[in-house]
Amino acid sequence: MKTIGIISDTHNLLRPAVLARLSACDMILHGGDISRPQVLAELRKLAPVQAVRGNNDRDWPEDLPYTLDLDVYGLRVFMTHKKSDLPADLSPYDMVIFGHSHKYDLKKQGDTVLLNPGSCGPRRFSQPITMAVMVLQEDGNFTIERIDIPHEDRK
């Protein structure tokens, strides 16, 4: 069994509750809008990190791609920041991850799971602060849990 933390739109804020959840993960996937390299450095202390560049990641992330096509413990995962940048054909993927809207969304399109983990960075308007944790079984089956973070939990 593997546990994967899925976050997006941290915008330079790593909340203690988010770090606590991620500390139990085998891998972290970040859907962009990281804002500063120190955020990735902190996350890499917890687990291996795969991340894409968001629209607010401007000058510093020269090595961060806009899209990733990953093998995550046997699952084929596509990741990008904006949903509008997803490929037209999602059928090759078990899961696609995106961010940008700060709104949690979990859907299935054919056999592909589409996930926006929402934002676990600064609260935007009255939107909830969210992230996701995927638990992947040895047989390739997985579940996704939405994690709601109290908005008072700030670094």
Q: What is the mean pLDDT of each run of 10 residues along the chain (155 residues)?
A: 98 96 98 95 98 91 93 97 96 97 96 97 88 96 96 56
In 3D space, the residue among 150, 62, 154, 144 whose CA is nearest the CA of residue 106 turns out to be 144
Q: From the centroid of its chain, how far is CA 48?
A: 13
The confidence score (pLDDT) of residue 152 equals 65
Task: Spell out the domains of the chain, with CATH numbers in brackets.
Answer: 2-149 (3.60.21.10)
Sequence-ordered list of residues with C-beta below 8 angstroms from that of 104, at least 6 positions apart, any chain? 116, 117, 118, 128, 130, 132, 146
Contact 126, 103 (CB under 8 A): no
| Tokens 């890499």 sit on residue | 44
pLDDT of 62: 84
Confidence (pTM): 0.95
Q: What is the pLDDT of residue 58?
A: 85
pLDDT at residue 155 in the model: 45
The whole-number pLDDT of residue 153 equals 46
Q: Is 32 left (phi over 0), alpha (psi -120 to 50) or beta?
A: left
Phi, psi (5° rounding) for residue 76?
A: -90, 120
**What stretches of the chain show up as alpha helix (H) in DSSP?**
16-22, 37-44
